[in-house]
Chains A and B, each alone.
Chain A
């Protein structure tokens, strides 16, 4: 091969055509923007647009098929005088608070158990996820049968065991109905907590535990002083997601009780659906949905600030 056939590095460079877009993407700021663009479009379409549309609806008197006119805060003011709405607010707070505490406690306990080595660990981990994998509507129908006033398998079992003499009216008694929907939510939510916290536990270096054990720390002390502080950031994120989801829960209550008996299990979302879709009052339905937004916003801000503090410690 003749020496003249070999292109020098300079001539090679000049042979490559650099498109304007290539030059643009070499700038990191533009590259970042382009990479973020799909996410921004998706968030804009499916999160921001519906949210803005919801806000817009809530300040009008729109009905299904009627655009409506601006009425300011009238829909929100009307809610203050709505006794069913007040019940829904209380129910939603109780529902979210109680389920979150139980889901966290049970999820953490399960995660700690699953973090140990035992035979059939992989199978058990997959099995634990079942309540979370099964479509909510389907599993809730199963629970509905289990709580059925006439054919409840739970009542049948308790009766056969001699623990009850008359049947328990799970979904017919106002207090028990709320407890029942709480039980189903906890059953469904625990796997999410367990698997997420298990993932967090597995990022903790086992040497830290070993070192604490050598220093004479008991199991409880090892958990409290080593595991828990390191697991806290993950826990906070999991709780954050869970609170948001539970606050806006719909299908579970809709299938199980429809908000009854006498609104004893009515939540924000079920009431918003009842008003917005059931009676075509879109604006009032939107106002009910948005009434939970300030509460959620405060919860989210507090939790995010706490996570940041924990992470910077």
Chain B
């Protein structure tokens, strides 16, 4: 057997890679072997355990082999609890090694702008081809000059409610409470019947902020002015919103919500103890997935008694905060090219379609093109999620979704402002406390 020295092997494989990249399939045939680039390139993608398990299966069973076939890249997907991604990201950046691509929630890319690669070429291409990104996706993944992550999806948040219970108090579908006052009145009647509304007002990253922020915005309250510096939280609108929330809580809500996490309302709704709650579509999808397990008090499948609606309007309008996700290509990766190629490939319409379909509407694409997808024709109950991201804002409004906004968000200051008032602190004091905390962060 002919001996090949290490130096010769490196030359051959390196040459193969270069020729393969420049010479295409002819050169691969000439070399009589796959290019070394294809043989050696691996990509490590870190993301959360999806609330829709079918999507994780699609990624592992379909996307991984497809990726190897299409790009010659061996993709390894690591799925962990969403709460743990930041700790992993921090240690990866600090040690200079870790996953090549990290799927971030919220505006995490804004926390690590120095540690992520510029992916403007990929994001611009995808945005242009797919009708543009939603504003919420843009503000979390673009630092104003360049794209620091490629937007992946938006998890829509809507009120899931019991159709028959709301009908009993005069809201025959599709009629639903349009304003906070109407919603409160409905909740008061339902709570009197032992069917309260449910909402987490606690330290959990999903449901509490996705409710507290749009609620505040709808009253006209906001953290800062557009300059991103002038803190204006302690306003009449904010105090009014907190005042209303305290009465609303007592009148209409399950008071255990102060201790709920992101899955508590799912369990409570599926168990039939609450009548309405802000959530992703996971309650409905889970009830539909197990029609024999989740039943109404009459023994009929629960999913047939669930509808969705956006949060009600306030004096200043109707808003939503839908959790955006985006993929960061880490700067410590020596060769960003395979990572960029992968992001370009996976967010391209034909490839993304498989994952999008598996979500069944739980998340919408980060680009507007997905509003037109035929998936939305399948199930009218999911329709409110289709365009939900249009009304989306991100914490930090009216300022940028920057590090300050992330600090206010991760310290749960807006959530705790309401929680403190519910626990007995006067609304003025709660708003003052929150204002001071936000000011300290922006100082």
Contact = CB atoms under 8 A, between A and B. Distances in A.
A261 B423 contact: yes
A257 interface: yes
Interface string B63-93: 0000000000000000000000011011001
Interface string B263-301: 010011001010000000000000000000000000000
Nearest to B424: A174
A150 B419 CA distance: 18
A261 B411 contact: no
B259 A280 contact: no
Contacts of A65: 93-94, 112, 114-115, 331
Nearest to B202: A260
A149 B437 contact: no
A151 B407 contact: no
A261 B202 contact: yes
A279 B267 contact: no
Given A258-B203, A260-B203, A151 B416 contact: no
Contact of B259 (A82, A84, A170, A278): A170
A64 B267 contact: no
Interface in B307-332: 331
B425 to A, nearest CB: 9
Given A66-B114, A261-B201, A262-B420, A84 B411 contact: yes
B49 interface: no
B256 A167 contact: yes
A269 interface: no
Nearest to B111: A280
Given A64-B111, A279-B111, A279-B407, A169 B259 contact: yes
B261 interface: yes
Given A150-B264, A262-B419, A81 B258 contact: no
A201 interface: no
A259 B259 contact: no
Interface in B230-261: 254-261
Contact of A280 (B112, B255, B437): B112
A260 B271 contact: no
A275 B411 CA distance: 8
A172 interface: yes
Interface in B396-416: 403, 406-407, 410-412, 416
Contacts of B112: 64-65, 280
B410 A279 contact: yes
A171 interface: yes
A281 interface: yes
Interface string A245-266: 0000000000001111111000
Point out which of B273, B331, B410, B437 has the most chain A C-beta atoms below 10 A from its C-beta: B410
A257 B433 contact: no
Contacts of B419: 260-262
A178 interface: no
B203 A174 contact: no
Interface string B114-129: 1100000000000000
A83 B437 contact: yes
B440 interface: yes
A288 interface: no
Given A257-B203, A258-B202, A274-B411, A151 B94 contact: no
A260 B258 CA distance: 8
B7 to A, nearest CB: 37
A302 B271 CA distance: 53
Interface in A273-287: 274-282
A149 B411 contact: no
Secondary structure of the B contact surface, majority rule: helix
B204 interface: yes
B259 A262 contact: no
B258 to A, nearest CB: 3
A148 interface: yes
Interface residues of B, number: 42
A177 interface: yes
A301 B285 CA distance: 58
Nearest to A256: B259
A259 B203 contact: yes
Contacts of A173: 258, 423
A295 to B, nearest CB: 23
A177 B47 CA distance: 32
A148 B437 CA distance: 30
A277 B92 CA distance: 12
Contacts of A282: 90, 94
Contact of A169 (B86, B89, B93, B258): B258
A147 interface: yes
A64 B115 contact: yes
A282 B254 CA distance: 37
Contacts of B259: 147-149, 169-172, 177, 257, 260-261
Contacts of A83: 433, 436-437
Contacts of A167: 256
B108 to A, nearest CB: 8
A280 B90 contact: yes
A169 B93 CA distance: 40
A278 B261 CA distance: 17
A279 B90 CA distance: 10
Interface in A188-204: none
A275 B93 CA distance: 17
Contacts of A148: 256, 259, 264
A147 B203 CA distance: 16
A169 B258 CA distance: 9
A277 B87 contact: yes
Interface string A146-161: 0111110000000000
Contacts of A262: 416, 419-420, 423
Contact of A279 (B271, B331, B406): B406
Contacts of A151: 267, 271
A266 to B, nearest CB: 9
Q: Which 9 A-B pairs have the closest CB atoms?
A: A149-B256, A258-B203, A171-B259, A65-B115, A172-B258, A278-B410, A260-B203, A172-B259, A262-B419
Interface of A: 63-66, 78, 81-84, 147-151, 167, 169-174, 177, 257-263, 274-282
Interface of B: 86-87, 89-90, 93-94, 111-112, 114-115, 201-204, 254-261, 264, 267-268, 271, 273, 331, 403, 406-407, 410-412, 416, 419-420, 423, 433, 436-437, 440
27 contacts: A64-B111, A64-B112, A82-B440, A147-B259, A148-B259, A150-B254, A167-B256, A169-B256, A170-B259, A172-B258, A173-B258, A173-B423, A177-B259, A257-B202, A257-B203, A257-B259, A258-B202, A258-B203, A259-B203, A261-B419, A261-B423, A262-B416, A262-B420, A263-B416, A278-B410, A279-B111, A282-B94
